Structure 1
């Protein structure tokens, strides 16, 4: 028996469920255990704990945005193969979302209250990118992941040296994001015009500046 083809309405309902799983606390489930594993908790002082919590709040919101971007693109992608790759990448990003949320809890901190706003904005960008065509949609993925890898590397370089739990999580996220970037490029991503890349960097700075605190 052939598998039933999902209609646009089916996918819309599925994405509504994904929205709730992304934004509701502890609703998402990771497919992989946290890279933090059994690493001992570092003896962070108050300032270090505040800094790491700010970093993880940024990264958690980044994963919320990644979920929204991939969901929006998958909803409007024209080629089934591209849609499948977007959905698979989104599933892998769920791991990052759960790992970041768990680390925030360990630090006694909470996710950003701005997550619903950033989700909505990122979903709209993803949907528009999908409508523009799969090459442009993949281009957004490639550029987004490129910037995320650079952003994660900057956090890794400034983390307290003894915080091995956070370092393990961010390092695995960096590896995964680089793979998603390479996947998009191999699938035929178009290079985005410099003004679009610059606009994405500005939006990223707004997100990181605000969610570090709230």
Structure 2
């Protein structure tokens, strides 16, 4: 896993102080409240706002909610919390983010601007999941190009949050977990089919992307 590899590399090249520095980022919680709201709400809002717009203009499109993920029946707050924690610990966020955002991203940003760093890291991150496509793992039934673009998009968002929360891996792990959780329970076909919902969805994403990219370019790293 990337997090394990990053911890090993950090320990080898930078010693115990390097490991303490990277792990300390897991404890950065006192950040601008806006980013808590963004982390907790953005993914769900990005899915439901296009549905609301479709309804407002008379287009019938419904987001279907799965009431179970794997063996979890999401019928109680405890089950939802348990499922969320499983996704966080075993579904990628904890196993990846110390590596991607804790180790690789700072190295890239030492050489490139945040936007370019995000594109490079997003490509690496997507490529890490190529075996999922080869073995036809559930959830990876889209084209790899679509997945690559989605991953680069998500990486840009993660970089923006990371840079604006003093490098908080806690915030990134929470964001990664919420994104995975919401996408797992919301059944939709906008990644594979072309319809009015997908048009609105991608237009909104493009607007958000342009705003964040502009913010990345104009705001130097501290």
User: What TM-score does the superposition give when structure 2 sets the normalisation length?
Assistant: 0.30
Structure number with the bigger relative contact order (C-alpha 8 A, sep ≥ 6) is 2
Flag the structure with larger Rg.
2
